[in-house]
């Protein structure tokens, strides 16, 4: 179900907005418009929709308009043109009162520098959203304490934000947002001010949380690794324009243009590529039909020293080596069951390469990629390393 | 060249101002005399009350406040005791009480007017553009000039003194309130907005608390400026330490002038340190 729908939204800052808007309609880019009119394009004709319960990441470098875009969603900044629908309602047409109700009940925001009020305690900060809604003191304290409890921060409720570490402050920021129980969370570079280890913890926490509460989350970041890690879908922005929307894998494997490609070069690929991306076609032997001679011939033809063994239904059974096959052939055995070995590690296709690296470096054999008992591929050390180093198109994908 | 310039008739600015003043005094005289008598009574009451407090009690209370406000340091407390005893010793106690009344009244009025004007200024670019030059005007115009309309409206005495002091002392509170609110970090204003605060909620729950110390710095300035008007206000009959300074000036009595001046300085230091320490408290 569509939760948020953004249609042709443009935001122009500065003077000569009308003439700049005409140039936007003529598909002129940010630099041209700035040169001709002096107006700055914040967001240039953006359209997308976000599904309920989805983590939608908007990413781009600084100045790409991503922070402006998220502020358009709750009308902290008013769009110059275009419409924004929340649950099918056009918020651009709402009056102040209606807009306040939406902000109070439907969406909460988490800020890059936490946005905590320094003169309020952690508890009073967490209560803020409930307080402005006019919820009685007792009830809002209860809700805020619950939110802090969930974040593991209840013992700190009487402290002031300045007494907490950055990571804890942002947990308070998140607790404040969740205390409101909104449908939508807007997170503007929420983890960017944190150091890398804390940032990773926070990402994990967010993902855990999302498992439990299923909010619609709009997450702004400039960090592609973060985007790929937490985003169900990612929108890439440049100069106010959305240049590609897709899942992390779609963007990685099929970058829309050179800009996206350059962007991707920074990515630590092991964190996003899965086994599926790096596995190659298995060369197999059918234990129910093939004997040692067939196996040996196939090894010679394919120039390999190991064959993976499957049955008729392609269920994974183990592997045989060239040496064993030669011995068996000399002994005159008719099938390969006698020389079948089972000590090959098995991995599922959706496992991250990052998590496989340890297994693969210790295993003497390649890894079998098995999905629902069926052999789907094989993971060979050389290919894995190559895929981590290579450009996206060169990743071997044999199905 | 100069002949051409001389041919331009002199603009009747002074006459126009005077006719406006005449109109005001003519048409609003009942309002002015109401304020005059009401204000005078209220201030006399306060002064009488202050005078009625035994000086020893008064000095000890001030010293105690100083002691607490400076977080239990003795410096300001001791200075207050010694300074106030000196003023009493020189026979200026009642004049000091008159001065205190004048400063309290003009500061409170200046704060009551100044903070809302400052808030208005911070919220509206138009208001800021209109009010800023008026404040500049108010601050650069010599303080003496305010005495003229003050006398025209309220006659002589303490009320016109307060009137002139308020005009002179108002700008810092307005400016600092405006500054304080505009200095609230943008992210916090956004946070307040994004949670659906109304304008008033944002003002009272976020902006004013965060601007508090800046506003207090403005109030401190306002109090000191109204104190500095004490001598000038005495020229139109406002009682207090200023009157002692003025009469010493008129009679060329260097010694008396020095004593009265020193008393003002002592009082100013106590007031300044006290208002500052209230600000530092949290």
A112 with B187: Cβ contact below 8 A: yes
Where do the structural domains in chain B lie, given as residue ranges? 18-52+90-280
Task: Give dist(CA A184, CA A86) in Å, integer.
Answer: 10
What DSSP assignment string belongs to A63-82? TSSHHHHHHHHTTSS--SEE
- Best residue in B196, B201, B204 for a mutation probing chain A (most A CBs within 10 Å): B196
Q: Give B195's contacts in chain A (Cβ within 8 Å).
A: 103-104, 108-109, 128-129, 132, 180
* Fold type of domain B18-52+90-280: MetI-like fold (1.10.3720)
Residue A343: Cβ within 10 Å count: 9
pLDDT in tens, B118-134: 999 999 999 999 999 99
A111 with B190: Cβ contact below 8 A: yes
Residues 69-128 of A with CB under 8 A from B: 71, 74, 76, 100-105, 107-109, 111-113, 115-119, 128
Confirm if B75 and B126 have CB atoms less than 8 A apart: no
Confirm if A369 and A381 have CB atoms less than 8 A apart: no
How far apart are the CA of B192 and the nearest CA of chain A, in angstroms?
8
Q: Does domain A275-394 have CATH number 3.10.580.10?
A: yes
Q: Give A74's contacts in chain B (Cβ within 8 Å).
A: 194
Is the dihedral angle over the CA atoms A336, A337, A341, A342 positive or is it negative?
A: positive
Find the distance separating the first CA and the last CA of chain B, reported in whole Å: 64
**How would CATH label the architecture of A2-106+182-267?**
3-Layer(aba) Sandwich (3.40)
Task: Give dist(CA B257, CA B244) in Å, integer.
Answer: 7
ipTM of the prediction? 0.78
Give me the tens of pLDDT residue by residue for chain B, a chain 282 residues long. Answer: 667 888 888 888 888 888 888 888 888 888 888 888 888 888 889 888 988 889 899 999 999 999 888 888 888 899 999 999 999 999 889 899 999 999 999 999 999 999 999 999 999 999 999 999 999 998 888 888 888 888 888 888 888 888 989 998 999 999 999 999 999 999 999 999 999 999 999 999 999 999 999 999 999 999 999 998 888 888 888 888 888 888 898 888 899 899 999 999 999 999 999 888 877 654
Chains A–B, number of C-beta pairs less than 8 Å apart: 59
Residue among B187, B195, B196 minimizing CB distance to A113: B187
Burial class (CB in 10 A: 0-12, 13-18, 19+), A278: buried
Where do the structural domains in chain A lie, given as residue ranges? 2-106+182-267, 275-394
Task: Give dist(CA B99, CA B95) in Å, integer.
Answer: 6
What DSSP assignment string belongs to A12-60? EESS-HHHHHHHHHTT--HHHHHHHH-PEEEEEEEEEEEETT-EEEEE-
pLDDT in tens, A167-183: 899 999 999 999 999 99
pLDDT for the residue A29: 80
Angle of helix A122-132 versus helix A137-150 axis, rounded to 10: 130
B190 with A131: Cβ contact below 8 A: no
Q: Give A132's contacts in chain B (Cβ within 8 Å).
A: 195-198, 201, 205
Comparing alpha-carbon positions, the chain B residue that sits nearest to A101 is: B196
């Amino acid at each position: 179900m569509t939760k948020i729908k953004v249609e042709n939204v443009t935001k122009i800052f500065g003077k000569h907005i009308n003439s700049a808007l005409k140039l936007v309609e003529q598909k002129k880019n940010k630099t041209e418009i700035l040169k001709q009119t002096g107006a700055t394009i914040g967001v240039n004709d953006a359209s997308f929709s976000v599904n309920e319960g989805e983590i939608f990441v908007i990413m781009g470098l600084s100045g790409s308009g991503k922070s402006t875009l998220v502020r358009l969603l709750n009308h902290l900044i008013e769009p110059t043109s275009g419409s924004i629908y929340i649950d099918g309602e056009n918020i651009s047409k709402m009056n102040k009162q209606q807009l306040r109700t939406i902000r109070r009940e439907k969406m909460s925001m988490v800020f890059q520098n936490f946005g905590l009020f320094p003169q309020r305690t952690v508890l009073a900060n967490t209560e803020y959203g409930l307080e402005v809604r006019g919820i009685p003191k007792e009830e809002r304290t209860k809700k805020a304490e619950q939110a802090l409890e969930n974040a593991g921060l209840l013992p700190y409720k009487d402290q002031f934000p300045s007494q907490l570490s950055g990571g804890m402050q942002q947990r308070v920021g998140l607790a404040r947002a969740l205390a409101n129980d909104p449908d939508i969370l807007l997170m503007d570079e929420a983890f960017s001010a944190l150091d890398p280890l804390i940032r990773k913890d926070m990402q994990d926490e967010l993902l855990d949380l999302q498992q439990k509460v299923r909010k619609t989350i709009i997450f702004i970041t400039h960090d592609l690794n973060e985007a790929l890690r937490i985003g169900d879908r990612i929108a890439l922005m440049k100069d106010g324009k959305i240049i590609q929307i897709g899942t992390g894998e779609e963007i990685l494997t099929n970058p829309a243009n050179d800009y996206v490609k350059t962007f991707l070069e920074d990515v630590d690929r092991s964190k996003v590529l899965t086994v599926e991306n790096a596995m190659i076609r298995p060369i197999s032997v059918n234990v129910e039909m093939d004997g040692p001679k067939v196996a040996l011939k196939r090894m010679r033809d394919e120039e390999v020293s190991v064959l993976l063994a499957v049955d008729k239904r392609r269920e994974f059974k183990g592997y045989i080596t060239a040496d064993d096959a030669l011995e068996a052939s000399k002994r005159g055995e008719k099938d390969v069951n006698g020389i079948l070995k089972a000590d090959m590690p098995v991995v599922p296709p959706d496992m991250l390469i990052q998590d496989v690296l340890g297994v693969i470096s210790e295993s003497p054999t390649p890894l079998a990629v098995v999905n629902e008992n069926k052999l789907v591929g094989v993971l060979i050390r050389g290919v894995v390393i190559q895929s981590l180093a290579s450009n996206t198109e060169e990743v071997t994908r044999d199905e | 060249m100069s002949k051409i310039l001389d041919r331009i008739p002199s603009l009747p600015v002074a006459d126009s101002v005077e006719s406006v003043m005449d109109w005001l005094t003519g048409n609003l005289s009942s309002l002015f005399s109401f304020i005059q008598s009401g204000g005078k009574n209220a201030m006399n009451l306060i002064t009488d009350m202050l005078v009625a407090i035994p000086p020893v009690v008064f000095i000890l209370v001030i010293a105690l406040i100083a002691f607490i406000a400076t977080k239990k340091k003795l410096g300001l407390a001791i200075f207050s005791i010694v300074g106030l005893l000196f003023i009493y010793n020189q026979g200026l106690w009642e004049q000091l009480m008159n001065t205190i009344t004048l400063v309290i009244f003009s500061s409170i009025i200046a704060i009551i007017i100044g903070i809302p004007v400052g808030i208005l200024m911070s919220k509206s670019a138009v208001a800021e553009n209109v009010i800023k030059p008026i404040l500049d005007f108010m601050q650069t115009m010599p303080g003496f000039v305010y005495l003229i309309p003050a006398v025209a409206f309220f006659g002589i005495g303490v009320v016109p003194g307060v009137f002139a002091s308020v005009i002179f002392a108002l700008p810092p509170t307005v400016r600092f309130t405006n500054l304080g609110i505009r200095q609230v970090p943008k992210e916090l204003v956004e946070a307040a907005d994004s949670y659906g605060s109304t304008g008033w909620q944002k003002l009272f729950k976020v902006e004013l608390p965060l601007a508090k110390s800046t506003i207090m710095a403005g109030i401190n300035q306002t109090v000191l400026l109204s104190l500095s008007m004490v001598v000038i206000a005495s020229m139109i009959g406002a009682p207090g330490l200023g009157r002692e300074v003025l009469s010493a000036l008129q009679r060329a009595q260097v010694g008396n002038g020095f004593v009265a001046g020193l008393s003002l300085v002592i009082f100013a230091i106590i007031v300044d340190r006290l208002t500052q320490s209230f600000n530092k408290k949290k």
